Amino acid sequence: MTIEGLLLSIAMAAAAGLVGCFAVMRRMALAGDALSHVALPGIGIAIALGIHPLVGAATALFFGAVLVWGLEGQARAATETIVGVVFSVALAIGSMLASGEQLIDALFGGAGVLRPAEVVFGVAASCVVVAFVLTQKNKLVVMLVSSEVARTAGISVRLLDFLYLETFSLTIALGLRYLGALLMGALIIIPAATAKQLARSLNGMLIVATVIALIATLAGSALASHLHRESGPFIVTAAGAIFLLSLLYRRR
């Protein structure tokens, strides 16, 4: 792996670990996974228009987060159903627009040579995600406990919710290059779910999730490189293995 690749994967893992903690605690593991599918039609349209797929994916994810946010604001309780339907259809449309190798790359990530712009975007986006979680974690915690308590404590609940969903989308976007839309959702959720099992405090959970995401990314990349295979599936399998070990540890 190149220095740029290493830097990008470390930044991506840190962002995924941190943002995932609140996704798991907010019980949006499945909604988050569905949201990641919306990247595909964006990639398809971008390829058709001849622009960088990442731009199309990021744009589609931005509006996907707006949609989830808008649905959350409705009093009706059918959000999960609508999210499931809309984003599964997005996956179908994405498959129609892109084909063959492009689609496999979009779903599971592709190797190829990293362009400087991709490295800059990845590291900058990771910094934004990490900074958001670390500066807003107190507000996010209060909102987790009770949105009414958060509101009376002076927190703009709807705005914070919107910013969190957009941060989540950005995290998926920055993992598309390596892991693809399907596997990045897994790197966000699995280390955080593992940390939830193991940690005894908020900071403990944030640290454990980040460390697990880093270990999975580095170990998965190293193994994939050794076997001359794509790194995405190895990274997520490594994360899954750590999760299973954590279940055994909890049983003891």
Partner 1 sequence: MTNILDVAHLTVTFENVEPLHDLSFSVARGASLAVIGPNGAGKTVLFRAIIGAIPHGGAVHWAEDVRIGYVPQKLDLDRDVPITARDFLGTQKTLAAVSDADISDALKRVGISAEVTKTPIGTLSGGQFQRLLIAFALLGKPNVLLLDELTAGVDEPGQRQLNELVANLQRDHGLTVLFISHELSVVYQYANNVLCLGRGMAHIGAPKVILTPDLLREIYGAPVDYHIHEH
Which residue ranges make up the site for partner 1 (CB under 8 A)?
A: 25, 27, 75-76, 138-139, 141-142, 144-149, 151-155, 157, 195-196, 199-205
Question: Least distance to partner 1 from the beta carbon of 153, Å?
Answer: 5
Tokens standing for residue 80: 């999960």
Among candidate residues 111, 110, 92, the one with its CA nearest the CA of residue 44: 92
Q: Which is nearer to partner 1, 155 or 184 (CB)?
A: 155
Nearer to partner 1, 157 or 215 (CB): 157
Q: In the bound complex, what is the minimum distance in angstroms from residue 83's beta carbon to partner 1?
A: 18
What Å distances lie between residue 63 and 3, 35, 59, 188, CA to CA?
33, 10, 7, 19
Q: Other C-beta atoms within 10 Å of 144: how many? A: 15
Half-sphere exposure of 141 (CA within 13 A, CB side): 11
In the complex, least distance from residue 178 CB atom to partner 1, rounded to whole angstroms:
29
* C-alpha atoms less than 13 angstroms from C-alpha of 83 in its C-beta half-sphere: 25
Give 135 or 227: the residue with its C-beta nearer to partner 1: 135
**Exposed/middle/buried for residue 196 (C-beta within 10 Å: 0-12, 13-18, 19+):** middle
Nearer to partner 1, 121 or 164 (CB): 164
Q: Which is nearer to partner 1, 145 or 248 (CB)?
A: 145
Rounded Cα distance between 217 and 211, Å, is 10
Nearer to partner 1, 104 or 199 (CB): 199
* Cβ at position 150, least distance to partner 1 in Å: 9
Contact 167, 135 (CB under 8 A): no
CB of 166 to partner 1, least distance (A): 21
Q: How far is the CB of 167 from partner 1 (least distance, A)?
A: 18
Identify how many contiguous H helices and E strands the chain contains and give both numbers.
12, 0
Long-range contacts of 231-235 (CB under 8 A, 24+ apart): 231/109, 231/111, 231/178, 231/179, 232/108, 232/109, 232/178, 232/179, 232/180, 232/183, 233/108, 233/183, 235/178, 235/179, 235/183, 235/187
Q: Which is nearer to partner 1, 10 or 144 (CB)?
A: 144
Nearest distance, CB of residue 129 and partner 1, angstroms: 19
